[in-house]
Chain A
């Protein structure tokens, strides 16, 4: 692949690598040498990341830093140019049942003819498998999940009649339905009211207390250290990753958000064009 030729640190990464025993098998998410390109323009370079278990992880970085892309690549939603991402030591397709994904709210059509409860019940579809309908037990679980996010009374509302914060809570409830160990959330705090933000934080803490791991794409630097105990600073590559207080330094932020730094972006641009 063309991106590999620019990759100077790791020489010639073999494609489709089998997991090497570099990390203990129980690491919730281990990413090695991950590169992702859209239309030949790399958006993630050489990602190396190990997320420890039971942490609340914030992924922070400027617009276009590849935060959402990172989650999608971990979930096999977009092809990887090189490298791999392993969940509890296994490729994603073998560890699906342990992962819950909360997409960005704008990714779906909220005018769709379904109720909040219907959407939450979708979290059970994988468990149910082909052809089987949503049964009573799962409906009950869906109601509980809605209750957990504090909107049980809105279960039968059509989703367009919910506020932005309530829609986000529906998505969270759907993730809860999946009963996963690793939660990947794409900007759950985007454009929600203060009450919802607090409810989400509370929920994250509960999950974390149960030993679950949450990766949350976040964009509000002011709240980063209060919400999360582990941080990943991302700008096309991992600038820093570690415990929140240690990682959230001026220097690291400068590296992540600094204007002049983005040589990488220019290089990616050039690479995108050079082959034309």
Chain B
């Protein structure tokens, strides 16, 4: 563990070299987060995969060309230009395969990925034997070599990342339409093919500058992981874009910093792992769409449904026990409750425990249960809502009274207060007796058959 002063020094970009590296990867992360978000929404995340592999032949060929023109072949802009050209060739091949054959997207991507990469590997091997020129280091484009970054590299990355971010923000509306409904976009006269090419062009730009920083395999993660993580937090596009950019930027910043502190860890890999960790956190804990909040919500709804079932069953038993018209809160036998629904004794026990905890029940003699005052009030309310809804379904939706109980059961638990008042207004004119109207169908007190 490096001392705190070192950590602080790196995180606050004190040293020159770290500053270059960390700023580059952060900017790259922001740009990739923005562009990748649209790629994800277009359901083409793996396009980045194919594209990044397709850049390799360009690197090798650009090197050979530059050497034959008398340079060292190591000029980054030149190499990246080559990468761009072969990346675009890869996209064009992909689109051609998709549009002129029966083969699907995935095959087109797989084809471009493997064949271009194969050509890349073969040509890299060839140029390595060029006499008088050292191609060593070209392979770092596969795995990334952040440490060797110089000032001009940084400028290049910053400019390209900045332009890519601005363009994708400027075209947000157009990309949104393309990703959501390309048929509608085309019918409105938007050039969907051109928009697709523009999006893939941005992906190419991000991929190419990512080659130097994290390498062609890990740049894929930059394009996919942040937007997917961001999607868990929000259901709106614009916040998703900014979150995605933020997650990408933080991954780049933290990852490069950690790697700067522990030199034996390659930066690209650490950045990817930071992004993956952020993804995992988002997937598990994000309130909007995360897995755990969703499970909690489902559990809460299930408990609510159980509670309402219990209270309504109790109320209906009390109704049948009442000698006159008025239903009173008296102790009722557990067996009767058991008969109302298909509860197993175990389930019923659990539901009763919850009800006790929520103060819906009062202590009673064994074999009997007794509702508390608030419990009784709640039971009346729940039963009333159920019957209101049933009447509505019978009167307005033409559902047979024999089926209405089950149908009402499916929806009533998610009814909000506003809907209930709407129901009341609807039913008010129809002589429906409030507070608790009689059931519109005979109540079955025998155990039902398993649904």
**Contact yes or no, A194 B181, CB < 8 A:** no
Given contacts A96-B188, A125-B188, A131-B170, A103 and B183 within 8 Å (CB-CB): yes
Closest 7 interchain pairs by CB? A158-B235, A126-B188, A75-B187, A101-B187, A108-B181, A96-B189, A113-B237
Q: What band does the interface of chain A fall in when counting residues whose beta carbon is under 8 Å from B? A: 20 to 34
A-B contact pairs, 25 of them (CB 8 A): A77-B187, A96-B187, A96-B189, A101-B184, A103-B184, A109-B180, A112-B41, A113-B41, A113-B236, A113-B240, A114-B176, A114-B180, A114-B236, A119-B180, A125-B177, A126-B189, A126-B190, A128-B173, A131-B170, A131-B171, A132-B173, A158-B235, A158-B236, A160-B235, A194-B397
Give the docked Cα–Cα distance between A214 and B174 (Å): 27
Find chain B residues with CB under 8 A from A76 CB.
Answer: 186-187
A119 to B237, CA, bound (A): 12
- In the complex, the answer to whether A125 meets B173 with C-beta atoms within 8 Å is yes
Choose one: B102, B186, B190, B237; the contact of A114 (CB below 8 Å): B237
A208 at interface (Cβ–Cβ under 8 A)? no
Interface code B159-194, partner A: CB below 8 Å = 1, 0 otherwise?
Answer: 000000000001101101101110110111110000
Task: Produce 1/0 per residue, A128-144, CB < 8 A to B.
Answer: 10111110000000000
In chain A between 128 and 177, which residues have their CB closer than 8 angstroms to a CB of chain B? 128, 130-134, 158, 160, 174
A22 and B183 CA atoms in complex are apart in Å by 31
> Residues of B with Cβ closer than 8 Å to A?
41, 43, 102, 170-171, 173-174, 176-177, 179-181, 183-184, 186-190, 231, 234-237, 240, 397
Please tell me which one of the listed residues A39, A77, A119 contacts residue B183 in the complex, with CB atoms under 8 A apart: A77
> Are B397 and A130 interface neighbours, CB within 8 A?
no
Chain B residues, Cβ within 8 Å of A125:
173-174, 177, 188, 190
Contacts of A118 in B (CB 8 A): 176, 236-237
Q: Which residues from A are CB-within-8-Å of B183? A: 72, 77, 101, 103, 107
Distance in angstroms between the alpha carbons of A77 and B181 in the assembled complex: 12
Q: Which residues of B contact A37 (CB under 8 A)?
A: none
Which residues in A have their C-beta under 8 angstroms from that of B237? Answer: 113-114, 118
**For chain A residues 236-269, which have a beta carbon within 8 Å of chain B?**
none
A99: interface (CB < 8 Å)? yes
Task: Give A160 to B236 CA distance when docked, in angstroms.
Answer: 12
Would you give the shortest CB distance from A271 to chain B, in whole angstroms?
Answer: 18
Chain A residues numbered 78-109 whose CB sits less than 8 Å from any CB in chain B: 93, 96, 99, 101, 103, 107-109
| Residues of chain B within 8 A of A225, CB atoms compared | none
